[in-house]
Structure 1
């Protein structure tokens, strides 16, 4: 980081990404049976494993984003997770209704864009306003 403002901008980016995942994780917990049913309807394999993993990735990942802990590996995990949810959950190529297909295309590419944000976070690290930043020597890498 060369400018003091960079860490503040990275913090805002982490929070913006975290809000989506925290909300999703909490909603999955509150409506767990419905979430499992949705995964079954999409033909997701090993729903008994996928449902708790998805819920944990979203809820815990969101919390870790906010506090800035282990951001580089977390960002890679979140990028892969977000692309996987795009492919499994927003499979517009299997939708025949034009209005629904349009919605699915938007959500698919939104997820791809979010994954891109996670890849940028992987490159930048958590910034100084984070647990990673507090644990690393000034100017060091936040791994």
Structure 2
């Protein structure tokens, strides 16, 4: 991306995604025991081991989004993480109550859409308003 407006739009997108992940990570920390119980209830194997990984991915990934650090790698990691959480956390195919099933369907597809946004970010890069942009020479095609 070379136009300043492109970098501004990418920056806004990064912040919007970061808010979601920083908030989620903070809520996991504040209600850590409840988060582990949630993982157990959804049949996540090794919940005691997975909980700190999920919390770290959300907090560190959120910070990387804010600062635009290692964006292509981070975006791929967050896309994969978001798809995994869609499958494990919003498994609408296992829900029998119609209202809860519909809610899970919506959250499942929202996660898939967020993963799509991360894949797009992996292709575009962080933009110039980022640490990655500071490391890229100005004459480069991507920033």
TM-score by length of 1: 0.97
What is the correspondence of 1:1-143 to structure 2 with a 5 Å cutoff? 1-138=1-138, 139=140, 141=142
Cα distance in 1, alignment partners of residues 81 and 129 from structure 2? 25
Distance 1:116 1:87 in 2: 15
Q: Does structure 1 retain, via aligned residues, the 8 Å contact 2:78–2:115?
A: yes
Give deviations 1:75-101, integer Å, cap 9, x for gaps.
Answer: 000000000000000000000000000
The CA distance in 2 between the partners of 1:47 and 1:99, in whole Å, is 27
Q: For each residue in 1:88-143, what CA deviation from the matched residue of structure 2 results, as whole angstroms up to 9, or x when unmatched?
A: 0000000000000000000000000000000000000000000000011121555x
Shift of the alpha carbon at 1:2?
3.3
Distance 2:71 2:128 in 1: 12
Separation (CA, whole Å) in 2 of partners of 1:129 and 1:75 = 16
Corresponding residue SS for 1:128: coil
Structure 2: runs of 5+ lacking an equivalent: none
Give the alignment's Cα RMSD to 1 decimal: 0.9
* 2:95–2:101 CA contact under 8 A, matched in 1: yes
The CA distance in 1 between the partners of 2:52 and 2:105, in whole Å, is: 26
Q: How many residues align?
A: 142
Shift of 1:45: 0.5
3-state secondary structure, aligned to 2:93: helix
